[in-house]
């Protein structure tokens, strides 16, 4: 049973994903994880999380998706995509990781 005011585990916080079944959301998360593995040339070993959140930043839409990769003996790598879970495509995932890698090289 969810806590009062919080969505149940099968609900998404995003406007576009609202009303979408848990199975469809789970399938979409799995697809985004696969796109991340391809974009970063990862094996099946790293853990990847995909979370849709309300975006409170100025200029951001109502939702954003946070993708985090956890690899053994490495700091967690994360990207944010200002879109809903159901609207993200493979190009958006690849572009977000390319931007992150580009900014890491320039630091």
- What is the b/e burial string over 30-56, where b = at least 16 CB atoms within 10 angstroms of the residue's CB? eebbebbeebbeeeeebebebebeebe
* Three-state DSSP state, 99: helix
* Predicted local distance difference test score (pLDDT) of residue 18: 60
Q: Answer with the residue of higher pLDDT: 72 or 9.
A: 72
CA dist 20 and 75 (Å) reads 33
Domains of the chain: residue spans and CATH: 22-106 (3.30.160)
Task: Identify whether the C-beta of residue 84 lies closer than 8 Å to the C-beta of residue 92.
Answer: no
**What pLDDT digit, counting tens, does each position of 50-98 carry?**
999 998 878 777 899 999 999 999 999 999 999 999 999 999 999 999 9
pTM of the model: 0.76
Task: Identify whether the C-beta of residue 30 lies closer than 8 Å to the C-beta of residue 38.
Answer: no
């Amino acid at each position: 049973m969810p806590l009062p005011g919080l969505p149940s585990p099968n609900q998404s916080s995003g406007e576009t994903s609202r009303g979408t079944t848990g199975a469809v959301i789970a399938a979409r998360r799995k697809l985004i994880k696969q796109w991340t593995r391809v974009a970063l040339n990862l094996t099946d070993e790293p853990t990847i999380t995909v979370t849709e959140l309300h975006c409170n930043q100025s200029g951001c839409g109502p939702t954003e998706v946070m993708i985090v990769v956890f690899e053994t003996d490495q700091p967690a790598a994360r990207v944010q995509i200002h879109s809903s879970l159901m609207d993200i495509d493979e190009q958006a995932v690849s572009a977000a990781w390319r931007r992150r890698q580009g900014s890491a090289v320039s630091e």
